[in-house]
Amino acid sequence: MFFLRMAFKNLTRHKRRTIITALIIAFAILIYVMTDGLMLGMTEMSFDNIINLESGHLQVVDQNYWEDRKELPLKNLITPSAELEAEIKKTAGYVAMTKRLKFAVNLNNGIDELPVTGVGIDLGQDDKVFELQNYLVEGRMPEADSSEIIMGAKLAELMDFKTGDYAVMLIRTEEKTFNTIDGEIVGLFNTPHPSLNESNVFLPLSTAQDRLNTKGKISHYAVRLSDQNQALTAAEELSTRLEAPLQAYSWKDAAKSLVTMIEMQDIETQVVLAVILTLAAVGIINTVILSALERMEELGMMKALGMHEREIVYTFMGEAAGIGVIGGIMGIIMGIIGLSIFNINGIDISTITAGGDMTYGFPLSGTIYAGWEISSFIFVFIYGIIVSVLASIFPALWAARKDPVKAIYHR
């Protein structure tokens, strides 16, 4: 293990150079850890928003409805029944369920019209599955069977509505006939889910059913489970017990486009990391070449005294690995500090998007917090060391293959 000791001595011989090279790696790791943490935080928060405000853990829907649910059709609705509810209640980890009816609305303030999504909610049950009422910033929830409505504060601002105003909602019944609901705005909410704030109006389920002539039908059941990780298996299991065409979908199905987007983002992060670490690798190559040039006579002497080429290469590789370890440790310490700052203070999303909400991609608004994942730390640490070692191989080979005589003369 002579060469390892040598490598260690060489590292301590040029402390400043070692630290500076290690810093390059440390920064690369810091950037990766921060990006990854931020991504993870955004992903978790987006999923939470979808679960807590949009879909619940499970949705029980007619599968024909599911296909064109974005169109908010009034076809293929579900007729609620005690048997169906009893079946849903048997699901492992069941906590609560609620009924919802979604429909297309043209919201009208007398001057402009805006297409939004109307959601009829079962007021006694909805808060057991969803967290909407926690985000009320003004007023209160509608009363059951009334034509009171609540909407996002953002939407209200856009349409110039205040609490107490009446909003005319132009809708089409099941038979495509126009109908209107004069909804009294009794509350405004501001959720961390931007599209909810901008384009959703909530009203009592019975009122919606009555005006849409859906005769007690709903578009879906939303179910809350005790653990979000159960959702996938629970959805499969429940689907087998439901009569066709009914089917249970997990929140992951509901957020399919988001899940795909996050997967793509993940690849993007990896590519960024690869680029940054390549730059770090260039730094390492540079350092190794420098130290090799500096130690040319020394190397020539060692070779003349019978040291193998292989051992010289190992020495340089050990040195590089050392730099990788030092850089990795520094990077992870910096990363932990950086992420802690992120986690304690959070970052206001409006500073990233110059004052606005994110209008695409993540369903997020307000302050975001980074997430932690121990595996990403381990991964980037090992990755850093491997890159350092690999970067040192070629310059080390170049140095080791020098003819001892030429090396000693340094020509």
Partner 1 sequence: MFAYLKKRNYINLKTILIAALVSAILVSINLSAAAQTTAAQNLSADEIINRRDENEYVITAYSEAEMIIKNSGRSQTKTMRSWQDKENALAEFTNPRDRGTKFLKRGDDLWMFFPQAEDLVKISGHMLEQGMMGSDFSYQDMLESDKLTDLYNFKLLGEEEYEGRTAYKLEGVKVPGKEVSYYRRVVWIDKERFVGLKEDLYAESGRLLKEARVLEVEEIEGRWYPVHMVMENKLRQNTSTEFIVREIEFNPDLPDNIFTLERLR
Residue 106 interacts with partner 1 (CB under 8 A)?
yes
Determine if 159 is a binding residue for partner 1 (CB under 8 A).
no
Task: Name the pairing type of β-strands 148-152 and 166-172.
Answer: unpaired
Q: In this structure, are residues 123 and 204 in contact, taking their beta carbons and an 8 Å threshold?
A: yes
Query: What mask, x for binding partner 1 by CB under 8 A, covers residues 54 to 73?
Result: -----------------xx-
Q: Residue 409: what residue type?
A: Y
Kindly tell me which of 112 and 294 has the beta carbon lying closer to partner 1: 112
Which pair of tokens denotes residue 314?
């190992």
Determine the distance from the C-alpha atom of residue 404 to the mean position of all C-alpha atoms in its chain, rounded to a whole number: 56
- For residue 227, CA distances in Å to 60, 75, 244, 398 come to 17, 32, 26, 57
> Which range of residues in 179-187, 233-241, 325-333, 374-382 is near partner 1 by CB under 8 A?
179-187
Cα four-point dihedral sign 6, 8, 12, 18: positive
Q: Which secondary structure element, helix H or strand E, spans residue 192, and what is its range? A: none
Least distance to partner 1, CB of residue 288, Å: 56
**Interface with partner 1, residue 111, by CB under 8 A:** yes
**Residue 305: strand, helix, or coil:** coil
Shortest gap between Cβ of 195 and partner 1 (angstroms)?
A: 16
Terminus-to-terminus CA distance in the chain, angstroms? 31
Closer CB to partner 1, 72 or 261, in the complex: 72
# residues contacting partner 1 (CB under 8 A)? 24
> What is the distance between the alpha carbons of residues 191 and 151, in angstroms, rounded to a whole number?
11
In this chain, which of 133, 179, 190, 239 binds partner 1, going by CB under 8 A? Answer: 179
Name the residue nearer to partner 1 (CB basis): 75 or 256.
Answer: 75
Nearer to partner 1, 108 or 125 (CB): 108
Phi, psi dihedrals of residue 373, rounded to the nearest 5°: -150, 115
Backbone angles phi, psi at 366, to 5 degrees: 85, -140
Which is nearer to partner 1, 173 or 265 (by Cβ)? 173
The H or E element that residue 208 is part of is helix 205-212
What is the closest distance, in whole angstroms, from the C-beta atom of residue 69 to partner 1 in the complex? Answer: 12
Nearer to partner 1, 15 or 176 (CB): 176
- The 206-245 contact track toward partner 1, x by CB under 8 A, reads -----x-x--------------------------------
Q: How far is the CB of 171 from partner 1 (least distance, A)?
A: 9
Applying CB under 8 A, the span of 32-40, 74-82, 170-178, 364-372 interacting with partner 1 comes to 170-178
Closest distance of CB 111 from partner 1, Å: 6
Residue 112 found at the interface with partner 1 (CB under 8 A): yes
Q: Name which position in 4, 95, 104, 296 contacts partner 1 (CB under 8 A).
A: 104
Residues 3-42 touching partner 1, rule: CB under 8 A, are none
Single out the segment in contact with partner 1 by CB under 8 A; choices: 78-86, 94-102, 167-175, 233-241.
Answer: 167-175
Task: Answer yes or no whether residue 336 interacts with partner 1 by CB under 8 A.
Answer: no
**DSSP-assigned letters across all residues of 308-369:** -HHHHHHHHHHHHHHHHHHHHHHHHHHHHHHHHHHHHH-EEHHHHTTTS---SSS---SEE-
Distance CA 404, CA 398 (A): 13
Give 108-170 as a DSSP string.
Answer: E-SS-EEEEEEEEE-TTTHHHH--GGGGEEEE-PPPTTS-EEEEEHHHHHHHT--TT-EEEEE
Q: Which residues bind partner 1 (CB under 8 A)?
A: 71-72, 104, 106, 108, 110-113, 115, 168, 170, 172-173, 175-182, 211, 213
